[in-house]
Amino acid sequence: MRNWAIGTCALALTVAGCSASEDAAMMESVERVQTVDIAEAPGEAETDSALGAENATAGIDKTSSAPQIAYVYGYGFRIAPDEIAPLAQRHVELCEKLPNNGCRVLSLQQAGSEGSYAYGTLELAVAASKARNFGKDLASSAESLGGEQVDTSISGEDLSKQIVDTEARLRARTLLRDRLMEVLRSRQGTVAELIEAERGVAQVNEEIDQARSWLAEMRGRVAYSRVTISYNSSARTGGSFGRPIVDAFQSIGSILGTTIAFMIYALTVLIPVVLALLGLGWLWRKSGIRLFRRSAAKEAQAGDEVKGK
């Protein structure tokens, strides 16, 4: 029982300081518990060790020696404004036609104006093994509608080390959780030690869930490449001399609209102000006339009194 208590305390201290730099200390604590078990009951310890190893590797794929690279593809197409929506729809249909859920639509955005400018963006997740050929299909669809491919980009991020490190961390945490569960099942140790072991199990389970989420996210990025497609209707001009002229003609409508909007705002503000000023002027004139009449009447009355005397 004393040996079990020592093992429990060591594991609890290890869980309290869980971090990547303390994995070695944690494994030493686990080995210490295994040594105590073997000394007390060799047959049972060997069975538990085999079960722990099996649980530690459950749900974890064997790491391949091949590089785990997450690719990101970018394609840009120039096409007439009224053909952007049909082209984007064709690209969505190409995505949906890939077998075995080989493509997923992440987002689609389109915007345009009354002029000759419009743009759009389509984001897809394509199976890594089909991403290269899928890019060729995108270009073919654009050419069939009179568009042209103007931009191409490919970038990749090697996730091999991160995946291997996360898998190793997950195996270590799973082994530690199994040992803590053995301590709780045996009910050996003080109440405080058992409570600390329960807290350790909860913390280790949280780290295991987090590591599994990281693995799923990284493996998803490797399995499905992100493809970003941009559509633009800007036409090429003959040179720098003609470009400002074209821009000026295209902005005539927006300039007139801005001017009219400013006039509307100005009238909205000035009309109440002018009415208020006119009202104040009318009141001022009316009160002035009354005061003038009163003063004139007083002067006339005073003149009559002087004449009467």
Looking at residue 279, its amino acid is: G
Give the phi and the psi of residue 116 in degrees, each rounded to 5. Answer: -100, 10
CB 152 within 8 A of CB 131: no
75 pairs with which residues across the strands? 152, 229
**Per the structure block, which two tokens stand in for 250?**
């295209």
Q: Could you read off the pLDDT tens digit of each residue along the chain, which spans 309 residues?
A: 444 444 444 444 444 444 444 444 444 444 443 433 333 333 333 334 443 444 444 444 444 467 899 999 999 999 988 889 999 999 999 999 999 889 999 999 988 655 567 889 999 999 999 999 999 999 999 999 889 999 999 999 999 999 999 999 999 999 988 888 887 888 777 778 778 888 888 899 999 999 999 999 999 999 999 999 999 986 544 445 666 776 777 678 778 888 999 899 888 988 988 888 888 888 887 777 777 667 767 767 776 666 665
Q: Name beta bridge partners: 157.
A: 70
pTM above 0.85, yes or no: no
Q: Which amino acid is at 297?
A: A
Instruction: Round to whole Å and give the CA distance between 165 and 121.
Output: 36
